[in-house]
Structure formats: C-alpha cells, structure tokens
Amino acid sequence: MSVIESLRGGLIVSVQAYPGEPMRHPETMAQIALAAERGGAVAIRCQGLADISAIKGQVEIPVIGLWKEGHEGVYITPTLRHARACIMAGADVVAIDATRRARPDGLSYADTVKALKEEGALVMADCGSIDDARMAVEAGSDIISTTLAGYSGEREKTAGPDFELLDQMVTEFPQVPVLCEGRVHSPTQAAEVMAAGAYAVVVGTAITHPTTITSWFADAIK
C-alpha cells in the first residue's frame, strides 16, 4: 500500500513540543509517538530533524516531517533546504507552508514542490485558505490540509476545526486527499471532520500537549 493510501480514513497524531517546554526532547517525542501508534494512529506528524529521526527509529507507521523556523510568517518548513533536510532525516512526507506569502529563499511554492517531486518526495501542503489550496493543488501537492486556517490571516481562528474551509476544499478537490488539521479537540470533532469528507484527521494538542490539556481541566474547575 502506498504511504498516501495508508492514511485514508485514519487518525494522524501530531507530536510536538515547543521551544523551552519540558518535553522538548527527541527521545520523549519518540516515546509519545510510539504510544500514539499503539493507540491506533496511522501516521505521526512531527517537527525538527532530531525528532523526525528519533521517531522514525521507533515507529513503523509513516512520518510526516516538518521543520519550524521561528513562529511568524512562513515558518513551517519555510525553504526548499528545510524540506530536503526533513526528507534526509527520514520523513516519508514533508509538510510545508502552502500559503501564498513570500518565502525566505525567494522560491515560489510551485518551484519548491516541483523540485521536491523531481527528487521523489511526497508533499503535504499546509494551507490557510481555499486560495492556498488552489495554489497547492495546481503545484501538484500530494496532500492538502487546513493546518494554517486561523494562523495566516485569511481565516478566522475558529474555536474548533475550520469546518467551512474543510468543506470548501473537499468540494472543490474531490480527487485530492484533504486532511483536517488544527484545533480538533475531541473524538467527537474528529468523527465530525471525517463525516465532512476529510481523507484523514490530524490531532496534536488534544493528544500530545499535556500542559494545554491540563489547563482545560484546571480552567473548568475554577
């Protein structure tokens, strides 16, 4: 079965810790990824070359790798160099910023995807709007996703997943795998995005970010 086919209908778990956080260590991330695999994840999404390699060493399921540089503007795998490095580190799919903003290396999104495809890589397009998705499909991305909805200035940051953008994407691109990622906070919401036509759902915070999960409970009993 192809990597993309193996994601169909499944749960992808995003395993990331942010700079300065207590769990930001490749071995810790790899342990969480393995736990997620045992729980039924069909793939892991993770950040940074050390985490990608450590996680590849632990799990059998595919790894979607990205490399975050900074946290403003184009920061998810911002350049072709970052994308190539993710593949070299072992990622089965590389996730890259697929907004229409200028990229730090001056390449267009289409040029970046073209180079990666020529090298045999699979590309996940992290989109923030339907216009981004159009550009990403035109460029030949293997997967498109709602990852940047609410973070790139084109969509409101909904409390839960951006169902409206998901609907636009699956309606306009029925032939392209559309992932729903971002603020999927419960099993019910995960089921809802699948019912809405997502090819697969990506859950990060609600499974792998204990500080945030703890704050949900702490706030609820204040």
Ligand X SMILES: CC(=O)N[C@H](C=O)[C@@H](O)[C@H](O)[C@H](O)COP(=O)(O)O
Dihedral over alpha carbons 40, 207, 55, 180 (to 10 degrees): 80
Residue choice 14, 79, 146, 189 for contact with ligand X (CB under 6 A): 14
CA 51, 56, 61 angle in degrees (round to 5)? 125
CA distance 161 to 149: 9
Closest to ligand X by CB, 74 or 135: 74
Tell me if 78 contacts ligand X by CB under 6 A. Answer: no
- The tokens describing 37, both together, are 């695999």
Give the interface segment with ligand X, choosing from 3-11, 19-27, 116-124, 179-187 (CB under 6 A).
Answer: 179-187
CA distance 25 to 128: 29
Tell me if 155 contacts ligand X by CB under 6 A. Answer: no
Give the interface segment with ligand X, choosing from 23-31, 101-109, 131-139, 143-151 (CB under 6 A).
Answer: 143-151
Q: Are 193 and 167 in contact (CB under 8 A)?
A: no
CA distance 67 to 125: 13
- Least distance in Å: CB of 43 to ligand X? 13
Tell me if 181 contacts ligand X by CB under 6 A. Answer: yes
Tell me if 183 contacts ligand X by CB under 6 A. Answer: yes
Closest to ligand X by CB, 121 or 161: 161
Closest to ligand X by CB, 58 or 147: 147
Residue choice 58, 77, 99, 147 for contact with ligand X (CB under 6 A): 147
- The tokens describing 128, both together, are 């923030």
- Least distance in Å: CB of 82 to ligand X? 13
Beta-carbon contacts of residue 184 (< 8 Å; ≥ 6 apart): 160, 161, 190, 193, 201, 202, 203, 206
Tell me if 184 contacts ligand X by CB under 6 A. Answer: yes
Residue choice 182, 190, 193, 201 for contact with ligand X (CB under 6 A): 182
Residues 36-75 that bind ligand X (CB under 6 A): 66
Q: Are 139 and 114 in contact (CB under 8 A)?
A: yes
Which residues are at the interface with ligand X (CB under 6 A)? 14, 16, 66, 76, 147-148, 151, 181-184, 202-206
